[in-house]
Amino acid sequence: MVLTGNRRTRFSVHTEFEPSTLGRVLDLFTVRGLACDTMTARKTSDGLQWIELHCSDVEDQHANLLLNQIRQIIAVRTARVETTLLAAS
């Protein structure tokens, strides 16, 4: 996995398991022209879904806007975003 830039943003989303939920989450990134470096989605043992998306160089205001829009998806139970700044080399 190769990540570029000096800023890493991770979106963690816990949802009800529905076929369209993953597509709805990804669509929010697509309409903004954002590509994820990595994405993981898995069904949990309790029948829910866990989605993690890792992106490079997403500004805080865009990350917060995306987080609020993800939270508006009906199937989403919880969502959070974490940004890590890497030391300049």
d(CA 1, CA 74): 32
How big is the chain, counted in residues? 89
Model confidence over 16-57: pLDDT tens digits? 999 899 999 999 999 999 989 999 999 999 989 999 999 998
pTM: 0.87
Model confidence over 69-85: pLDDT tens digits? 999 999 999 999 999 98
- Go through the domains of the chain in sequence order and give each one's CATH number: 7-85 (3.30.70.260)
Q: For residue 65, what pLDDT band results from cuts at 50, 70 and 90?
A: very high
d(CA 15, CA 30): 19
Helix (H, G, I), strand (E, B) or coil at 57: coil
